[in-house]
Chain A
Amino acid sequence: MSSMSRADNRNPNATKPLLEVKNLQKYFPIRGGVFSRVVGNVKAVEDVSFTVKPGEVVGLVGESGSGKTTAGRSILRLIEPTGGEVLFEGVDVTKLSKNQMREYRKEMQIIFQDPFASLNPRMTVGDIIGEALTIHRLAKGREKEAKVADLLERTGLSAAHMRRYPHEFSGGQRQRIGIARALAVDPKFIVADEPVSALDVSIQAQVVNLLQDLKEEFGLTLLFIAHDLAVVEYISDKVIVMYLGRIMEIAPAKELYANPIHPYTEALLSAVPIPDPTLKRERIILQGDIPSPINPPSGCVFRTRCPIAVKECADVVPPLEEVSPGHFKACIRRP
C-alpha cells in the first residue's frame, strides 16, 4: 500500500486522546449604537469539553443554534475561540501563531456541508484535491498526479475525473471530491460538518458507507457533526449531544440510543420520524422554541422546554457527571 495507509501505525485502544477540548467557549459580539460598541454577545459555545481518541469517530449532534458547527470550526481555528483550550496531541493549538498553526492545518482537515459552495468552480477537480499537496510541499508533478488519481479511486470516482470541473458532477460526487480533498494531506483528524445533510437519501447512504470504509482503511479520526441522529448512530463510536452551547449528554453510540438519560436526548430521539407506519410509540413533543443564545436561561439551559424541570433547575448549571463508563449527563433530575 502507499504511504497513505495509516491504519497500521495507530492503535485505537491507545488511552492518550488525540484531541482534548477543554472548556471551549465562543462568543460572537453584537455591535450596536452610534459607536458600534459591543452591546451583547451571542453565546454560541458556552462550555464544551470532550476528548477524541485516535481512530475514534465522535458524533456531535444538536439542533440549529446548539453550537455544534461553531464548536467544530473553533477547534480547527477557522474561527478564533473566545476561551478554553484545544489540545491536539498535547499541544494547545489556540495558543499557536499563524505560522505555527499552518503546520497543524495539515493534520486537521474539514469536510463541508454544501458540496456546491465549497468547491471552487474555476478549478479542475485535480487542482482542488492537489492544492493542499502543493501548499504543504508534500508532492508535485507526476507524484502529485498519482496521489490525486489514487484519492479519486479510493473515494469512488475515477482518475479520469481529474481534468473535469465541479459543475460536471452531481451533489454526491462533489461530496466525494470534498472528502478526497480533506484526505489529500493525510490528516490525523477530520471535522466533517454535516457532510451528508444536503444529499438525497439514496446518495446519503453511499457517502455514509464511503466514510465508514475510509474510517477502516485510513484509521480516520473523525468529528462528525450532524443534526440527523440516525446518520450519526451509524458512523459514530461515541455521540455528544449539544443544546444551546452546552453538552447535555455524552455516551457510546449504541448506549445513547438504547438508553438515553438526559430528557433532551430522549425528546430528540422521540421526535425523529421513523419510516414505519405500523410503529406505535409514545412521543415526547417539546413545547416552544430554542431560547435565544444572546440571553440563555439561567441554570440548565434546557429547563424552559424540559418536561420534568423543577425550580432547582434554574439555580445552577448542572455539571457533566459520569453515570456509567463513558456515559456522561448534565441533569440534576436524572441521577
Chain B
Amino acid sequence: MAKSEKLLDVRGLKTYFDTDEGTVKAVDGVSFHIDKGETLAVVGESGSGKSVTSLSIMRLIPTPPGRIAGGEMLFNGQDLVKKSEREMRQIRGNDISMIFQEPMTSLNPVYTVGDQIAEAIVLHQGKTQKQAMKMATEMLELVGIPEPAKRVKNYPHQMSGGMRQRVMIAMALSCGPQLLIADEPTTALDVTIQAQILELMKKLQNEIGMSILFITHDLGVVAEIADRVVVMYAGRAVEEGDVVPIFTKPKMPYTMGLLNSVPRVDKAAVHQERLEAIPGNVPNPLYLPEGCAFHPRCKFAIEQCKAAIPDLVDSGNGHMVRCIRWDEIQKEQAVVA
C-alpha cells in the first residue's frame, strides 16, 4: 500500500476568544490531518468549533478577541501558525482557498463576477487583465455555468444562489489550490441545487486532485462526499475515522445519538415511529461540564466520566474515539443486537 502523504497536519490546535465574561475555548486541542487528494469532513452542531477550526487554518480569526493559543498546523511541513500576515496572504488563494455558506455576502455586489475571479488571478499568478478575464471565462465553464462568455459580465445579483456558489468555487479554484476549505457550502441552498454543487465538487476534485476540508452539520452530506470524518463537540474532536466505520459502527455515544436523531427519507417505508433525540442542550462554551463535555447528555455516562476529559484513543484501524467507555458500550450494544 502506498503511504499517503499528509498535506495538512493540525496538532493540538487551540483557538480561544477573550470575552468580558471569560475565555471561550472555541477550539481546545484539536488534531487531525488531511492527505493529498482526500476529502475530510468536519461535522458538528453549532458551537462545536468546526468553523473556528477552518478559520484558524486560514488564519482569519479576528484578533482580538480571538487568538490561536497553541498547537501547530503543518501545511506541506511548514507551520501556518508561525507565518507572518504577508506570508499568509501568499498562501491564501494560491495554496489554500475557501468557500463560505452565504454566496451572496462573500461576493462583492459592485463588481462583475468576471472581475472578481480575474482579480485573484492577476494578484497571484501575475497574468494581465486580458489573460485573467479569459481564464475567468474558462473557470465559469469548468464549474458548469451556461453561456460563460456572457455570464462573466454579470453582477452577483443577476445570478441565483446556486450560480453564485458556482462562481465562488470558480474563484476558489482559479489559482489551483492544493487545499479547498468549504465551510457549509451547500447549507443555504435547496436540496436539488445542493445535489448539483456536491456533484460538481466531486467531479472537480477528480479532475484537479486537490484536497477538501468540508465543514458541515449535515450527516447526509458527509456520507455523500467524505473519505474521512472528524466529529466535533464543544471544541474537541470526539471521534475520527474513515467514513464507512463512522456511520456503520460509531463508537462515541454522541455520534451514535446524532445518527439516530436524523430523520431519513429512505427509512420512510419502515417508518420509525419516533426519532431518538439527544436530551438536553449543547453546553455553553463558557461553562463546559467537568470531564467529558458530553456526559450530561449521554445515556451511557457513569461517575468517572465527570472526573477527567477523556483522551482521544485509537480503537483499532485508526478509528479514534474520545470516550472512556467505548469498549464496554460496544459490548453492551452487541448483546442488545
Task: Assign chain B's interface to a size class.
Answer: 35 or more
Query: Residues 266-309 of chain A: 1 if any B CB is under 8 Å from the residue's CB, otherwise 0?
Result: 01111111111111000101110110000000000000000000
A92 within 8 A of B: no
Within 8 Å CB of B261, what residues of A?
201-202, 204-205
Pairwise interchain contact A275-B259, C-beta atoms closer than 8 A = yes
Known A-B contacts A278-B248, A289-B160; the reply to A257 vs B217 at CB < 8 A is no
Which chain B residues numbered 162 to 219 have a C-beta less than 8 Å away from chain A? Answer: 162-163, 190-196, 198-199, 217-219
Chain B binding site: helix, strand, loop or mixed by DSSP?
helix
Pairwise interchain contact B263-A233, C-beta atoms closer than 8 A = yes
Complex Cα gap A206–B224 (Å) = 25
Interface size on A, residues (CB 8 A): 45
Within 8 Å CB of B222, what residues of A?
275
Pairwise interchain contact A285-B275, C-beta atoms closer than 8 A = no
Which chain B residues numbered 244 to 289 have a C-beta less than 8 Å away from chain A? Answer: 244, 247-248, 257-266, 268-269, 271-272, 274-279, 281-282
A200 within 8 A of B: yes
Pairwise interchain contact B162-A289, C-beta atoms closer than 8 A = yes
Query: Residues 66-104 of chain A: 1 if any B CB is under 8 Å from the residue's CB, otherwise 0?
Result: 000000000000000000000000000000000000000
Complex Cα gap A190–B91 (Å) = 53
Pairwise interchain contact B265-A272, C-beta atoms closer than 8 A = yes
Complex Cα gap A228–B258 (Å) = 17
* A253 → B minimal CB distance (Å): 8
A212 within 8 A of B: yes
Which chain B residues numbered 275 to 305 have a C-beta less than 8 Å away from chain A? Answer: 275-279, 281-282
A118 within 8 A of B: no
Within 8 Å CB of B218, what residues of A?
273
A316 within 8 A of B: no
B221 within 8 A of A: yes
Complex Cα gap A278–B194 (Å) = 20
Within 8 Å CB of B10, what residues of A?
none
Within 8 Å CB of A170, what residues of B?
281-282
Pairwise interchain contact B266-A279, C-beta atoms closer than 8 A = yes
Complex Cα gap A270–B264 (Å) = 12
B195 contact from A172, A208, A285, Cβ within 8 A: A285
Known A-B contacts A271-B192, A283-B195; the reply to A277 vs B243 at CB < 8 A is yes
Pairwise interchain contact B196-A286, C-beta atoms closer than 8 A = yes
Pairwise interchain contact A200-B263, C-beta atoms closer than 8 A = no
Pairwise interchain contact A271-B268, C-beta atoms closer than 8 A = no
A146 within 8 A of B: no
Pairwise interchain contact B258-A272, C-beta atoms closer than 8 A = no
Pairwise interchain contact A227-B190, C-beta atoms closer than 8 A = yes
Complex Cα gap A273–B265 (Å) = 9
B315 within 8 A of A: no
B residues neighboring A (CB under 8 Å): 45-46, 160-163, 190-196, 198-199, 217-224, 226, 243-244, 247-248, 257-266, 268-269, 271-272, 274-279, 281-282
Task: Give 30 CB contacts A-B under 8 Å.
Answer: A64-B161, A64-B190, A170-B281, A170-B282, A172-B281, A201-B217, A202-B258, A205-B262, A205-B278, A206-B279, A208-B263, A208-B277, A212-B274, A230-B262, A230-B263, A230-B264, A233-B263, A234-B263, A271-B191, A272-B265, A273-B194, A273-B198, A275-B259, A275-B262, A276-B223, A276-B247, A277-B223, A279-B223, A285-B199, A289-B163
A residues neighboring B (CB under 8 Å): 63-64, 170, 172-173, 200-206, 208-209, 212, 227-231, 233-234, 253-254, 257-258, 267-279, 283, 285-287, 289-290
